[in-house]
Amino acid sequence: SQQGEEDPQALSIQEGENATMNCSYKTSINNLQWYRQNSGRGLVHLILIRSNEREKHSGRLRVTLDTSKKSSSLLITASRAADTASYFCATDANTGGFKTIFGAGTRLFVKA
């Protein structure tokens, strides 16, 4: 399986702190994506990083990718209570996008 696996499974922090979530995967990839899911809702795409990129920023989000270690991290800076959600990494199988596989997710709880 080339699923991404996140850690930690759950993370509880205070508002204003940074949250870091990690993802590992098993096979070579073209890109890695991060998604967010509010409880009971559909997933929302946050950011995509290509295999030839090492770091990418979008607002308070910072994603890194280490293809040698087959791992990625998502950093949310200055967290807010509204960031409370589950975060998933996703990778495409070698079929080129026809099979995007999600990891188990990290549940983030930000306390106000």
Give the interface with other proteins as residue ranges (CB under 8 A): 30-31, 33, 35, 37, 40-45, 48, 50, 88, 90, 92-93, 95-105
Identity of the residue, 6 or 83, whose beta carbon is nearer to other proteins in the bound complex? 6
Cβ 104 to other proteins shortest distance, Å = 5
Record the tokens describing residue 99, joined without a space. 């099979």
Task: Specify the DSSP element, H or E, that contains 108.
Answer: strand 106-111
Q: How far apart are CA 43 and CA 35, in angstroms?
A: 6
Is the distance from CB of 20 to CB of 73 less than 8 angstroms?
A: yes
Q: How far apart are CA 34 and CA 108, in angstroms?
A: 14
Identity of the residue, 50 or 80, whose beta carbon is nearer to other proteins in the bound complex? 50
Cβ 101 to other proteins shortest distance, Å = 6
Cβ 16 to other proteins shortest distance, Å = 28
Cβ 7 to other proteins shortest distance, Å = 14
Identity of the residue, 59 or 96, whose beta carbon is nearer to other proteins in the bound complex? 96
- Strands 85-92 and 31-37, bridge-based pairing: antiparallel
Classify 56 as helix, strand or coil: strand
